[in-house]
């Protein structure tokens, strides 16, 4: 039950942070900011924590919970669909690919900043 409570509490706060950011930023910016910043922070957190250990409090609270609630695929998918409907499929695809690419690069940067560079294997 402790693990569930940590994920629940972190997820509630992360979702609230994403909502507040969407109110503060106009247009498409919330999608890019949330996904890029969230990817960086998740890479930083997991790079800093290292391999999974016996006490996963921070991983559950901040990683799975807060950052899981802050960056969600469903929010990205909805925003991309709305952009695609309003601006055409090319713009929708550009937002989807751009968000994924920025998230990937931000996560790598987070690992590098944390000093725990992991090899990416194909």
Cα end-to-end span (Å), the chain:
36
Give domain status of residue 120, yes or no: no
Give domain status of residue 15, yes or no: yes
Which range, 32-36, 64-68, 112-116, has the best average confidence (pLDDT)? 64-68
Judged against a pLDDT cut of 50, whether residue 121 lies above it is answered with no
Give domain status of residue 78, yes or no: yes
Query: Residue 97 and residue 120: Cα distance in Å, rounded?
Result: 20
What is the tally of structural domains in the chain?
1
Give domain status of residue 77, yes or no: yes
Q: Rounded to two decimals, what is the model's pTM?
A: 0.71
pLDDT, one tens digit per residue, over 45-89 is 888 887 676 678 998 999 889 998 998 777 778 778 888 899 999
Give domain status of residue 122, yes or no: no
Higher pLDDT residue, 116 or 73? 73
Judged against a pLDDT cut of 90, whether residue 35 lies above it is answered with no
Give domain status of residue 47, yes or no: yes
pLDDT at 26: 80
**Residues 43, 111 contacting (CB under 8 angstroms):** yes
Domain that holds residue 27: 2-114
Give domain status of residue 104, yes or no: yes
30 — phi, psi (to 5°)?
-55, -40
Q: Largest Cα–Cα distance in the chain? A: 49
Give domain status of residue 102, yes or no: yes
């Amino acid at each position: 039950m402790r693990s569930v409570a940590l994920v629940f509490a972190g997820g509630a706060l992360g979702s609230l942070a994403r909502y507040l950011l969407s109110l503060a930023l106009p247009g498409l910016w919330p999608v890019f900011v949330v996904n890029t910043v969230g990817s960086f922070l998740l890479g930083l957190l997991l790079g800093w924590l290292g391999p999974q250990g016996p006490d996963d409090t921070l991983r559950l609270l901040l990683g799975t919970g807060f950052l899981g609630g802050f960056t969600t695929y469903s929010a990205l998918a909805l925003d991309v669909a709305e952009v695609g409907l309003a601006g055409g499929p090319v713009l929708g695809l550009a937002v989807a690919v751009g968000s994924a690419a920025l998230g990937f690069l931000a996560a790598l940067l987070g690992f590098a900043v944390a000093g725990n560079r992991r090899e990416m294997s194909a």
